[in-house]
Structure 1
Amino acid sequence: MLVILIGTALILLPTFAVTSYLPVVAAPVVTGSLLAIAMVINGGGQVIGNQVAGRLIDTRGALPVVSIALAGSVLSFLILPAARHNPWLLLIILLVLGGLAGADVVPQQHRLFAVAGDSATTALGLNGSAIYLGIAAGSAIGGLSIRTVGVGWLPVVAAVLAAAALLFIRRTAPERQTRPGRRSGAPTAR
């Protein structure tokens, strides 16, 4: 259960490193009321991502969904520096990033409940704490990154964070552990 909670905190780092500083990231081309629209578009993407992830989990499983969402985030964060100079491309990337951010939290919750067993209520509380930790740490990393390497490099930092989260989740996935009498890929309790 602990590795899934750590994974949840890790997946939020890149998203909040960037979205906490969205006014600075988008400043070259998106300001004022367009910035508010950009934030709504990003949030709308998250709602869509949540909905799509739930359906995909039912057919594909939670680990593949979170893996694809994080891989997509890596690519989208790497495109973001070029998008910072074109308002329409920036809005599209923010929609995609929102969708991917929404699509990676739902599978983590599914994975957590699959291993929590009778501790599901406690797991839910701990999951909330992991989310808040990821948001706060991501925001701090974003601010530190802007201060040390500049806002232009923030999306690259976010891409590295997303790749690290993906690597951690794939390497520590309880679903990848096999036990006698269990088929490979089935979640195991931890």
Structure 2
Amino acid sequence: MSLFLLTYGLGQVLSNWIAGSIVDRVGSIRPIYVFLVAVLIVEPLLALTTHTIPGALIMLFLWSFCVPMLFTPQQHRLLQLTPEHANVILALNNSTFYLGVGGGAALGGLALRVVAVTQLGLIGAACLLLALVLFAFSVRLSARKVKRYEGEKGEKEEMLVASE
């Protein structure tokens, strides 16, 4: 059991260690897409790899690496969208994160009444697919708002220049 916990912890530590570097190099949107898809693939495969210790360790490491890799880019993205409300937006993000953790545990507990434990990965994958769709929608919506804001800002600057 200790080896599994060590593997899980190493994945999380490594992920948190390099997440900031990845965001600094490529921005926040691309890593979120990549790691949502990665977790979407890993989640249902977890149940298939638990029959061997090496397979389970590899998948556990991948899972524990990918999940935290979503948190730093999401915080970065939120700070880019509303830097003037940094404290509030990060507090809301953390609250939503923990609400999701609790909701996921509740959903998993309810699901265990209906499906086998080996099927929980499929339910997790369905939730990740929903998250991926909602994230894509969010990116498009925020891009429109930014474009509209920049257009309004440009019009105001043109009006100021014209009035001088």
Interval containing the TM-score (normalised by the shorter chain): 0.7 to 0.9
The Cα RMSD (Å) is 1.8
5+ residue gaps, structure 2, are: 152-164
Q: How far apart are 1:182 and its partner, in Å?
A: 4.8
Counterpart secondary structure, 1:147: coil
- How do 1:10-25 residues align onto structure 2 when only pairs under 5 Å count? none
Q: Which residue in 2 is equivalent to 1:72?
A: 38
Please state if 1:93 is matched with 2:59: yes
**CA distance in structure 2 between the partners assigned to 1:181 and 1:144 by the alignment:** 44
The Cα shift of 1:123 comes to 1.4
Shift, 1:176, TM fit: 3.4
Kindly indicate whether residue 135 of structure 2 is the aligned counterpart of residue 169 of structure 1: yes
| Separation in structure 1 between the aligned mates of residue 66 and residue 21 of structure 2, nearest angstrom | 14
TM-score with structure 2 setting the length = 0.83
- Bigger radius of gyration: 2
Q: Structure 1: 5+ residue runs without aligned partners? A: 1-33, 184-190
What's the counterpart of residue 187 of structure 1?
A: none
Asked if the contact 1:63/1:111 (under 8 Å) is kept, the reply is: yes
In the TM superposition, structure 1's runs of 4+ consecutive aligned residues that sit over 3 Å from their partners are 180-183
Specify which structure has the higher proportion of helix: 2
Q: In the TM superposition, what is the alpha-carbon distance from 1:89 to its structure 2 partner?
A: 0.5
Structure having greater relative contact order (Cα 8 Å, sep ≥ 6): 1
Match of 1:135 among 101, 109, 129: 101
Tell me the number of residue pairs that the alignment of Structure 1 and Structure 2 aligns.
149
Identity %: 28
TM-superposed deviation, 1:51: 2.2
Q: CA separation of 1:180/1:132 partners in 2, compared to 1, >3 Å: closer, same or farther? A: closer
